[in-house]
Amino acid sequence: MNGWVALVTVLSLIVYVATLVQVGRGRARYGVAAPAMTGHPEFERLVRVQANTLEGLVIYLPCLWLFALYAEPRLAAALGLVWIVGRVVYARAYAKDPATRSTGFGIQALATVALLIGALIGVILNLAHHGG
């Protein structure tokens, strides 16, 4: 794997780890005992940030890797940085006010869609030229 893509992969995982750490801290701060995942609106926001980041991560990472393999690895890494920025903006905004979450969400969604479409085109062109 291209080194920049590997680096962006690890950094993206660290962003996700941070959302998990926030849920753990929120459990203590807002007094929500496991296994409950509800009970305090600010805790529920942290849970949703984590869950939404997870939902996005499982799409984004394979697209990042396939874009790097079949299209352009350095552009893949650059789009990965955009994803990271979008996810951080999203997490901070959502924790303050769920109504402001769409900017960060939009940034990371654009990066994911670009990686997905680029990977799809790269894979199809590769199949057309070289077969399976």
Is 88 among the residues that bind its own copies (CB under 8 A)? no
Is 87 among the residues that bind its own copies (CB under 8 A)? no
The token pair that represents 116 in the structure block: 């997905």
43: number of Cβ within 10 Å: 22
Is 116 among the residues that bind its own copies (CB under 8 A)? yes
Residue linked to tokens 């794997």: 1
Q: How far is the CB of 6 from its own copies (least distance, A)?
A: 4
Q: Cα angle at 21 between 92 and 114, to 5 degrees?
A: 55
Among 30, 48, 75, 81, binds its own copies (CB under 8 A): 48
Is 30 among the residues that bind its own copies (CB under 8 A)? no
Answer whether 118's CB lies under 8 Å from 67's CB.
yes
42 Cβ partners below 8 Å, 6+ apart? 26, 30, 95
Site residues for its own copies per CB under 8 A:
1-4, 6-7, 9-10, 13-14, 16-17, 20, 33-37, 41, 44-45, 47-48, 50, 54-55, 57-59, 61-63, 66, 69-70, 73-74, 77, 94, 98, 101, 116, 119-120, 123-124, 126-127, 130-132
